[in-house]
Structure 1
């Protein structure tokens, strides 16, 4: 059984003015998501600024999200690291906290060979009982999970069940779908490629766009799941200007700005991320207005 189908939000981590985690505003965002039919919540991912959370904060944020969601939708905890030992530790803590699954990014900076990726993901998955989603995002990590490696992991490690594909390489994703033949669930990791990836058999998206447009992103995915690709393509194209603005600077700089514009008080970013440039922010506002969310 799949962890989810449809649109999962890669939710931001709201901050107070002093940079501490704002749990009250996180609750508000979670309730907004659930009210607007988000299909799952990914907590402490890239969009959640996990890389600048301490281990204690990371675990506390996961626990808080699990408690607030209270089984209404699946909670997927981002627990990846460039250190296998750290990935195991965070994954075990997420399991203790009651997460429904974990999201494991490829090791960054030190990277790995395909053999190293296999060992890293297998060792992490073997240390827990939760289902694991691999996260392939070479633009951020400098490390690419080849289709053959993903399929080997899915067939040899029982709880590696899915992959978030954010390589941007549709040919690679098509190759993955062909080799996998259904042995691994595929989710889009790019909001501008939801329809192409779902047309290849993907089950949905782990989305930045869902932070500000959860209902619309859910509906787009549902159109694909219903086989109405003409409707889905229209929705995908209509969302592209906003999606482009949400990635006009390093994620999550624009999406936090968008949430602040919407009144959600997501707060500042942790350094080295800085506030959005005015020119880009003005374009973001216009695209939010065009899309009907500001």
Structure 2
């Protein structure tokens, strides 16, 4: 199995100033904080990065900045996906992949394709993409589940499709993927609350949201899981359960940005249609962090 995407990856936020411009000072702080505390790789411009409200030009600038700041300390993955296959292919063709190890490509959303539609979409992406591809199945956002057999078919047919970030929230689906996958294909948890269980069952770790804030303990938990040390790993899991639930209780990334603001890593600013976490949620998060 490839070790490039093994352990804890984070779906990094895009920090904003009060005027909603990108806060590059905060972005540097978050990158450095995560690398120093054990993160294995970083995913740029995912859902948590508010990719749908970041312009194409901003995305390029953010990517360049993170590549420069990271300075080859950890692998980087760029989110490139959508429900217009031609547009996705055009973005891949016009992207400079210098400094990037792969892309995270979400299953087409809104259009609700058939399983054959999913397959043909990612076949077209695979044939043009010069770097490794992590598929991203998140039916809670896309409105359609990419089924296990479709993922396995893609894994077997295309060498540059090396992993799936699975976020259906169903352990049974994880187990089926782990049972049927090729030996060199990685199953990565996209559900923070299920990440340890998936890792212990044979998964390759997680692409996490909470991992970019509770970084040291979350990364330690996943490493213990990879080592098969369930007893020690679950101690950390139980300690982190409350904050993991809290950050998703309203919306993502408003919850994680509230945590990062309290940790003095960035402001809680988000772009519409998202709004900041409520005062009630911020109070609960602050109480947790004080007692942690």
Assess same fold via TM > 0.5.
yes
Which piece of structure 1 moves more, 89-98 or 186-195?
A: 89-98
- Distance in 1, Cα, partners of 2:88 & 2:173: 26
| CA shift for structure 1 position 141 | 1.0
Partner of 1:101: 102
- Distance in 1, Cα, partners of 2:90 & 2:268: 29
For residues 222-246 of structure 1, the C-alpha deviation after alignment (integer angstroms, 9 at most, x for no partner) is 1011110111122112110010111
- Distance in 2, Cα, partners of 1:198 & 1:282: 32
TM-score (norm 1): 0.95
Contact 1:94 / 1:102 at 8 angstroms: preserved in 2?
Answer: no
| CA shift for structure 1 position 276 | 1.0
Alignment of 1:120-269 (within 5 A): 120-269=121-270
| CA shift for structure 1 position 265 | 2.4
Partner of 1:86: 87
Helix, strand or coil at the partner of 1:108: coil
| CA shift for structure 1 position 94 | 4.3
Contact 1:245 / 1:287 at 8 angstroms: preserved in 2?
Answer: no
- Distance in 2, Cα, partners of 1:201 & 1:138: 22
Helix, strand or coil at the partner of 1:197: helix
With over 3 angstroms needed to count, the CA separation of the structure-2 counterparts of 1:52 and 1:72, relative to structure 1, is: same
For residues 170-207 of structure 1, the C-alpha deviation after alignment (integer angstroms, 9 at most, x for no partner) is 00110111111424201111111112111221011100
Where structure 1 has 5 or more consecutive residues not aligned to the other structure, the ranges are none
- Distance in 2, Cα, partners of 1:16 & 1:279: 22
- Distance in 2, Cα, partners of 1:123 & 1:58: 23
Contact 1:62 / 1:97 at 8 angstroms: preserved in 2?
Answer: no
Helix, strand or coil at the partner of 2:113: coil
Which piece of structure 1 moves more, 69-78 or 278-287?
A: 278-287
Count of paired positions: 291
Where structure 2 has 5 or more consecutive residues not aligned to the other structure, the ranges are none
Contact 2:20 / 2:271 at 8 angstroms: preserved in 1?
Answer: yes
Contact 2:156 / 2:182 at 8 angstroms: preserved in 1?
Answer: no
Helix, strand or coil at the partner of 2:49: coil
What's the Cα RMSD here?
Answer: 1.4
| CA shift for structure 1 position 267 | 4.6
- Distance in 2, Cα, partners of 1:118 & 1:83: 14
- Distance in 2, Cα, partners of 1:282 & 1:94: 41
- Distance in 2, Cα, partners of 1:66 & 1:93: 17
Alignment of 1:28-47 (within 5 A): 28-47=29-48
Contact 1:256 / 1:266 at 8 angstroms: preserved in 2?
Answer: yes
TM-score (norm 2): 0.95
Alignment of 1:100-119 (within 5 A): 100-119=101-120
For residues 58-93 of structure 1, the C-alpha deviation after alignment (integer angstroms, 9 at most, x for no partner) is 122112211211211000111111211222233344
